[in-house]
Chains A and B, each alone.
Chain A
Amino acid sequence: MTGIAETLEMSARQEILALVYQYSFAYDSNDMELLGSVFREDGSTGGVVADSDIGWGPWKGRANIVAELSQIRCSQADRRRHVITSPVFEELTADTATVKVYLSLFSYGDGKEPHLVTTGEYTMKASQRGGIWLMDSLDEILASPF
């Protein structure tokens, strides 16, 4: 890979990972404008709890995603931190990417000390149009209820 190609790829990787970091921070801080901004207009998201029949979504469309996640976030009185680690790029082209990351979900407040709520994994599909990367889909598998 040439220096220029390597630099472009590095830049794309950082931009793509920033989407899931922004999503996590936006949810935790209940900044739904920021959360909505990481999804494509027709993006989708959903999830399941492993070994259970618990699930949510899939919700399609930026406005719908924001409305549904806002409702859940507002029902949680504690402070949450979605900590993202161990990213793996399963696919990366000039215009599309598939990335998997691990999640550790911590909580504090509402009378409790900081503690681990659950772990999980996200699979994010993103695409680039007009030089801007956005999420097409974000699918979650949690290890236990949240």
Chain B
Amino acid sequence: MTNTFAVTGKAQAVLNVIHHYVWKLDANEMDGLASLLCEDAATRGVSRRTDVSWGEWRGREEIARQLRQIRGAQTGRRRHQLTTPVFFDLSESNAVVQVYLSILSTLPGKKPELVTTGQYRFSLRRSPEEWQIAAIEAEFDGKVA
């Protein structure tokens, strides 16, 4: 029989990692973001209904470098808000979770605006010490510039 409490505990630990990821992204703390990634992590993404896509970027350092460049070019205070998690896999060593995303941005002196909605699919691996992100597939519903 599955231990429901243990499963829920794992799910919370996984969610804590992906929430950390978006907080680090918003704060442009890319060293901290990189520490959440597996050494061989990969990511790619697409903005639906546009011709914009990115990646696949491979490796912790390369992902941090690319995201630092993008985040550095954005002027607004951004918040990647994650909701509605759905787990497709959750074992002792692997997890796959999909979450909805709302990106909100506020320019100085302006009201916050919804930049886009979308979804992330995170794959994570658990080392003896911690969960780390192995892959991120992003799908945005509109432009993110």
Chain A interface residues toward B at CB < 8 A: 1, 3, 6-7, 9-10, 13, 50-51, 85-89, 100, 102, 104, 116, 118-119, 121, 143-144
Contacts and interface: CB of A to CB of B under 8 A. Distances in A.
Interface of B: 3, 5-6, 8-10, 12, 15-16, 19-20, 22-23, 77, 79-83, 102, 104, 106, 108-114
Given A88-B20, A143-B112, A3 B5 contact: yes
A86 B111 CA distance: 21
Contacts, number: 67
Contact of B81 (A13, A104, A144): A104
Contact of A85 (B81, B106, B108, B112): B81
Contacts of B113: 116
B5 A85 contact: no
Given A3-B3, A10-B8, A50 B77 contact: yes
29 contacts: A3-B5, A6-B5, A6-B6, A6-B10, A7-B5, A10-B8, A10-B9, A50-B77, A51-B108, A51-B109, A85-B82, A86-B19, A86-B23, A86-B80, A86-B82, A87-B19, A102-B81, A104-B81, A116-B112, A116-B113, A118-B106, A119-B81, A119-B112, A143-B77, A143-B79, A143-B104, A144-B106, A144-B111, A144-B112
Nearest to B111: A144
B9 A7 contact: yes
A118 B107 CA distance: 12
Given A10-B9, A50-B77, A102-B81, A119 B19 contact: no
B90 to A, nearest CB: 13
Nearest to B5: A7
B106 A119 contact: yes
A104 B20 contact: no
Given A89-B16, A118-B112, 20 more contacts: A1-B9, A6-B5, A6-B6, A6-B10, A7-B5, A7-B6, A7-B9, A86-B80, A87-B15, A88-B20, A88-B23, A100-B23, A102-B81, A104-B104, A116-B113, A119-B106, A119-B112, A143-B104, A144-B111, A144-B112
